[in-house]
Amino acid sequence: MFEPFLFKAAGRLVDFMRQADEPGLINLAAGVPGLDALPAEELARAFERALQRDGSGLFAYHHPEGDHALRDLVAEQLRARGATVRGTELITTTGCTQALQLMLSVLIKPGDVVACEAPAYYGMLELLSEAQARVLPVPLRAGDGIDITRTEELLQRWQPRCLIVCTSLSNPSGATVPEENRKKLVSICARFGVRLIEDDIYAELVDSGPPKTMLAFDDGATVAYVSSFSKSVSPGVRVGICAPGDLYEEVAEKKCQQDLHSGVVTEAVLREFLAAGAMKPHVERLRERNAGRRALALDAIGRMFPENTKVTVPRGGYMLWAEMPHRVDLPKVRAQAREKGIVFASGDVFFAGTSPVSAVRLNCAKAGEEELVRGIETLGHLLCNAS
């Protein structure tokens, strides 16, 4: 299983996103927060301040790498997590997906080997499929992310162009890489000349606060950092961040070729949101909300899912990964659930190859509390009766 191969992505990101705002669904699929979790009032006030401060400049072209003051504020956040980085070393992007796509576009040619977690985010797998990369799956250790010992063996043997790791609350496994393993991973990648792409999009949702970033253990030659504020503030703002390290100029050029720059208005709004100190109280409320939703979901899973279902309990966030004790006809269950107005993410889309287990990823954040419980209970009934 653990050797590189070409593949065709099983999931289509466009299908998940089309469900995100479809009315009448109990949506346990798309990894998006509920509307009541968004800081709408704070963002509205931030827009007013941005308009007053920037005037007509809010609607003009701006710097290809993004709003200067915003990048400085993000760099300050990263320095608080151990990184040595300045705003001028960051590039704003349209979400984390563009940041990742930009990194791949400067690193990968068709046939190159890319190592990544198994399971891994289906949107990232779709990017690798499109890039015609050969994917090298890396095994996980429950709760701690990728297996460091096996990763070292695989990187030494196959010498991939890069390794992509979602370090905090990994999607879909929920794993968070311990700090000591982060340092080891940077050292291993540096030794073998493997570019390490740290996907940090869920770090702010860790209940105890964001862990030390892998940038803290790097000099810019090994770690490339990608993230966004889609999960922590608002997906509609579409502000992502990329710290390409010594690939800065190549990434900046690619970014400018794609869209000149990202959204001026939304970057200014986020700048004012962060500058006003609105992030800390918002994220604290969000973590509390997520913890409550996870508790409801875990209780419903325990009562209604097949006996001996294995559920990863993450250190935060709003998604759960549940593995069935036996093989289940998930396409059949998915169709049955859809008829009842329930959608969920089937585990097979998170593997480049054949999924070794029948698993589901459940989003606990979008549906209301009663809908969440009812949706999981109904899904559990269908799973228990699936052949």
Q: Which two tokens stand for residue 143?
A: 């709760």
| Residues 42-99 pLDDT 10s | 999 999 999 999 999 999 999 899 999 999 999 999 999 999 999 999 999 999 999 9
Confidence bin at 355 (pLDDT 50/70/90): confident
Phi, psi of 333 (to 5 degrees): -65, -40
Instruction: Please state, as a whole number, how many other Cβ atoms lie within 10 Å of the Cβ of residue 215.
Output: 26
Q: Do the Cβ atoms of 292 and 261 come closer than 8 Å?
A: no
Phi, psi of 322 (to 5 degrees): -125, 125
- The overall average pLDDT reported for the chain is 93
Instruction: Confirm or reject CATH 3.40.640.10 for domain 40-279, answering yes or no.
Output: yes
Q: What percent of the chain has pLDDT over 70?
A: 96
Q: Which two tokens stand for residue 153?
A: 């063996």
- The torsion defined by the Cα of 67, 68, 69 and 72, in degrees rounded to 10, comes to 120
pLDDT for 22 beyond 70: no
Provide mean pLDDT across the span 283-291.
Answer: 96
Instruction: In whole angstroms, give the CA distance from residue 290 to residue 308.
Output: 25
pLDDT for 24 beyond 90: no
| Residues 136-193 pLDDT 10s | 999 998 778 899 999 999 999 999 999 999 999 999 999 999 999 999 999 999 999 9
Provide mean pLDDT across the span 27-36.
Answer: 86
Between helices 40-54 and 264-275, what is the axis angle to 10°?
110
Q: Do the Cβ atoms of 229 and 205 come closer than 8 Å?
A: no
| Residues 187-215 pLDDT 10s | 999 999 999 999 999 999 999 999 999 99
Phi, psi of 49 (to 5 degrees): -65, -40
- CATH architecture under which domain 13-38+281-384 falls: Alpha-Beta Complex (3.90)
Between helices 330-339 and 369-384, what is the axis angle to 10°?
140
Burial 339-358 (b: 16+ CB within 10 A, else e): eeebbbbbbbbbbbeebebb
Q: Which amino acid is at 36?
A: D
Confidence bin at 34 (pLDDT 50/70/90): confident
Instruction: In whole angstroms, give the CA distance from residue 317 to residue 283.
Output: 11
Q: Do the Cβ atoms of 162 and 194 come closer than 8 Å?
A: yes
pLDDT for 20 beyond 80: no
C-alpha distance from residue 72 to each of 89, 110, 311 (Å): 9, 35, 39
Q: In which element (H, E) is residue 271 found?
A: helix 264-275
Tell me, what's the pLDDT at 1? 60
18-27, 165-174, 236-245, 266-275, range with the lowest pLDDT: 18-27
Q: In which element (H, E) is residue 50 found?
A: helix 40-54
Tell me, what's the pLDDT at 48? 97
- Do the domains 40-279 and 13-38+281-384 match in fold? no
146 in helix, strand or coil? strand
The gap between the terminal CA atoms of the chain, to the nearest Å, is 26
Provide mean pLDDT across the span 353-381.
Answer: 93
Q: What is the pTM of this model?
A: 0.94
pLDDT for 16 beyond 90: no
Q: Determine the longest span between alpha carbons in the chain, in angstroms.
A: 62
Q: Which of 25, 4, 6 is nearest to 15 (CA)?
A: 25
Tell me, what's the pLDDT at 312? 87
- Domains in the chain: boundaries: 13-38+281-384, 40-279
Q: In whole angstroms, what separates CA 237 from the centre of its chain? A: 16
106, with CB counted inside 10 A (0-12, 13-18, 19+), is middle
